[in-house]
Amino acid sequence: MKSSWKNIAEPVVFFITLLILWEILVEVIQVPSFILPPPGDLWVAFIKKLPILGHHSVITFIEAFGGFALSLFLGVGFAIAVVYSRHLQNTIYPLIVILYAMPKSAFAPLMVIWIGYGLYSKIAIAFLVAFFPIVVNTVVGLKEVEPELLELARINRASEFDVFKKIRLPNSLPYLFAGIKVAIVLSVTGAIVAEFVAANEGLGYLVLQANYNLDTAFALVILLILAVLSLGLFWLAELVQRKLAPWSAAVREVEGSF
Amino acid sequence: MPPLIAVGDISRVFTGGARTVTALEHISCDIHTGNFVSIVGPSGCGKSTLLKIISGLLPASSGTVTVHGKHVDSPLENVGMVFQAPVLLKWRSVLGNILLPVEFARLDVPSYIDKARALIKLVGLEGFEEMYPHELSGGMQQRASLCRALVTDPQLLLMDEPFGALDAMTRDELDMELLRIWEERKKTVLFVTHSIQEAVFLSDIVLVMSARPGRLLEKIAVDLPRPRTMEMMSIAKFGEYTLKIRALLAAAGVCAIIGGNRNLLAESFPKTNP
Ligand SMILES: Nc1ncnc2c1ncn2[C@@H]1O[C@H](COP(=O)(O)OP(=O)(O)O)[C@@H](O)[C@H]1O
Ligand SMILES: [Mg+2]
């Protein structure tokens, strides 16, 4: 009990100290506020822009989460197909690997040409960056099965579908969730980058606007909101993992460390 | 009485890439119903390969295996398997793991739950039915995997160094339990081990194999009274059996001998044809 209280108190005290130091330093050194505003200015900017922040946050959330959901759906499906089809493994998989080697953000201008200026081109980029970690992890998870388990299945004349449903799929879940946690954070980055290229709404668009206006305080507020958004999605994934795959080592490790 | 398993001049060659490995060479032996048969030999001599060929999981390069007089060319029906690692499904409880073969074989699961519970009781896992593998010790996990092998009540039990990864005390305990189950349920057991003591202690027959390429050095009938007890390990006859096997292995160039003159020992137990 005592140690868990300490585990909460320690970071809280640390961050409050950090904010106070920031405030004092900016004051003492007299840093111009367009370079580094004091934390108080951030709060003021946050309150002032609150009415518009909601809408833009929702837009970015939809882009990021939409792209992520799409990558989860298609990524898992594709991983299963690759594991079970030698043809796909020989043809589409190398193509995917080549795509993987390209910087996905460089697709953002192309996506505007291909899909247009609106929401969909952002979802496409978020999807693109989130797709690979999902596919790669799921493929590994489906394949890395103890050979003895497969022998056990063969000796009991298990159907291929049973092996998939009762061994491979559950076996892949911890790997999949590792991929999901990477993908979900990347998808937020993807959405922001896509907004940088061409957008008239969303948090990435707001950051650019803040930059043009030298409103550094507001830009930093948006960055903090993005951090909260990413962390929220990450913890959501963690929560779902605990529900769906409570046996996975990562979950037990985290539980043990608190 | 015809043998349950007849291994007829089995050889197995692995060709992987540039290297070819002869794992087994001209193995022949008969295994009779109800016998407890151990296979001992140095690591890499093909014990697991032999077990897989007998179970029908792996084809032989030449030679034939018959079980119940039938030629084995696909996985045997209703065989229990236990491996060195428990290989339990992490996402299933003990009971769920034990019922896995029942589900795979598309048998009626509810009618096997009582059987599974009886087995759980038999191996002393009562009260742990709903626990998950990570909540159990290695010994308990291996007990669960033994139940999983027994749940469909197979006549034949194939065990590949099942207790090799456990500490000595747990291993002794599980050896005793296995003997109890074997006597109670009248199984035929094929038990791979690299412990000579364990092989002698458990078995009616010990098959001694040479290092790669694995050949059958000798088939030794262990004439010790049943039921076996731990105390038997200290009687002279037990020592004679283990020494004989050591000498056989030493004569075949496997350094399984502890001190002493290798040639002298080998001479005192002249090699006989299996
Ligand atoms: N699938 C395989 N492919 C290639 N070589 C193999 C394969 N399985 C076993 N071997 C080789 O056959 C030999 C016997 O292996 P194994 O039966 O596992 O020995 P043991 O169980 O007695 O330790 C070893 O040299 C091993 O490297
Ligand atoms: Mg082996």
Whether the CB-CB separation of B204 and B35 falls below 8 Å is answered with: yes
- Let me know if residue A255 belongs to a domain: no
Mean pLDDT of B37-41: 95
* Angle, alpha carbons B233-B238-B240 (nearest 5°): 140
Structural domains in chain B (count): 1
Say whether B89 and A149 touch across the interface (CB within 8 A): yes
Instruction: Assess whether pLDDT exceeds 60 at residue A28.
Output: yes
The answer to the question of residue A206 being in a domain is yes
Is the same domain home to A143 and A209?
yes
CA of A250 to the centre of ligand 1 (A): 33
- Whether A93 and A59 map to the same domain: the answer is yes
- Split at pLDDT 50, 70, 90, the class of B255 is low
Q: Which of A50-59, A131-140, B132-141, B265-274 has the lowest mean pLDDT?
A: B265-274
Please report whether residue B158 resides in a domain. Answer: no
How many angstroms separate the CA atoms of A56 and A191, rounded? Answer: 12
Compute, in angstroms, the gap from residue B231 CA to the centroid of ligand 2.
29
Residues A88 and A188 in one domain: yes
Phi (first) and psi of residue A86, to 5 degrees: -65, -35
**Token digits of residue A58:** 């929702």
CATH number for the domain including B50?
3.40.50.300
Question: Hey, is the C-beta of B85 within 8 angstroms of any chain A C-beta?
Answer: yes
Handedness of CA A118, A123, A126, A129 (dihedral sign): negative
A78 in the same domain as A22:
no
What is the ipTM metric for this complex? Answer: 0.86
Chain B CB within 8 Å of residue A149 CB: yes
> Which ligand has the nearest atom to the CA of B50?
1
Determine, yes or no, domain membership for A66: yes
Asked, for residue A251, whether it belongs to a domain, the answer is: no
Does residue B133 sit within a domain? no
Regarding the beta carbon of B26 and ligand 1, being less than 6 Å apart is answered no
**Domain tally for chain A?**
2
Residues A85 and A1 occupy one common structural domain: no
Pair A152, A217 in one domain: yes
CB contact, 8 Å: A242 with chain B? no
Range of the domain at B57: 1-72+188-274
Q: Do A151 and B57 lie within an 8 Å CB cutoff? A: yes
Q: What residue of B is the nearest CA neighbor of A160?
A: B104
* A167:B89 CB<8 A: yes
Predicted TM-score (pTM) of the model is 0.86
Mutation pick for ligand 1 pocket among B13, B48, B191 (CB with most ligand atoms within 8 Å): B48
Whether B150 maps to a domain, the answer reads no
**Chain segment B120-138, per-residue pLDDT in tens:** 998 999 999 999 999 999 9
The C-alpha R_g of chain B, in whole angstroms, comes to 19
pLDDT greater at residue B152 or residue A97 = B152
For all residues of chain B together, what is the average pLDDT? 89
Is residue A208, in this structure, part of any structural domain at all?
yes
Are A151 and A185 within one domain? Answer: yes
Ligand found nearest the CA of B23: 1
Identify the three-state secondary structure at position B79. strand
Which amino acid residue places its CA nearest to atom 24 of ligand 1?
Answer: B44
Residue B130 lies in a domain: no
B48 CA to middle of ligand 1, Å? 7
For chain A, percent of residues with pLDDT exceeding 70:
95
Tell me: do A47 and A23 sit in the same domain.
no
More confident residue, A187 or A40: A187
How do beta strands B205-209 and B216-221 pair? Answer: antiparallel
Whether residue B105 is contained in a domain is answered as no
A81 domain residue, yes or no: yes
CATH number, position A141 = 1.10.3720.10
Whether B101 sits inside 8 A of A152 (CB atoms) is yes
Residue nearest ligand 1's atom 2 by CA: B14
> How far are the Cα atoms of B95, B195, B197, B243, B269 from residue B240, in angstroms, in the given order?
42, 15, 11, 5, 10
Is the residue at A257 inside a domain? no
CB-based contact A146 B87, cutoff 8 Å: yes
Same domain, A84 and A17: no
Biggest distance spanned by C-alpha atoms of chain B: 60
**Residue A249's pLDDT is what?**
64
Atom 16 in ligand 1: which residue has the minimum CA distance?
Answer: B46
In a domain, B98, yes or no: no
Asked whether the beta carbons of residue B152 and residue A156 sit closer than 8 angstroms, the reply is yes
Range of A149's domain? 34-244
Asked if residue A150 is part of any domain, the answer here is yes
Nearest Cβ partner of A153 from B77, B85, B104?
A: B104
Distance A248 CA to ligand 1 centre (A): 31
Tell me whether residue B212 is in a domain.
yes
Instruction: Compute the average pLDDT of residues A177-185.
Output: 95
Distance CA B143, CA B177 (A): 9
A90 and A122 share one domain? yes
Q: Are A38 and A25 in the same domain?
A: no
Residue B103: which of A149, A166, A247 has the nearest Cβ?
A166
Tell me, what's the pLDDT at B256?
47
Residues A17 and A99 in one domain: no
Percent of chain B with pLDDT over 90: 74
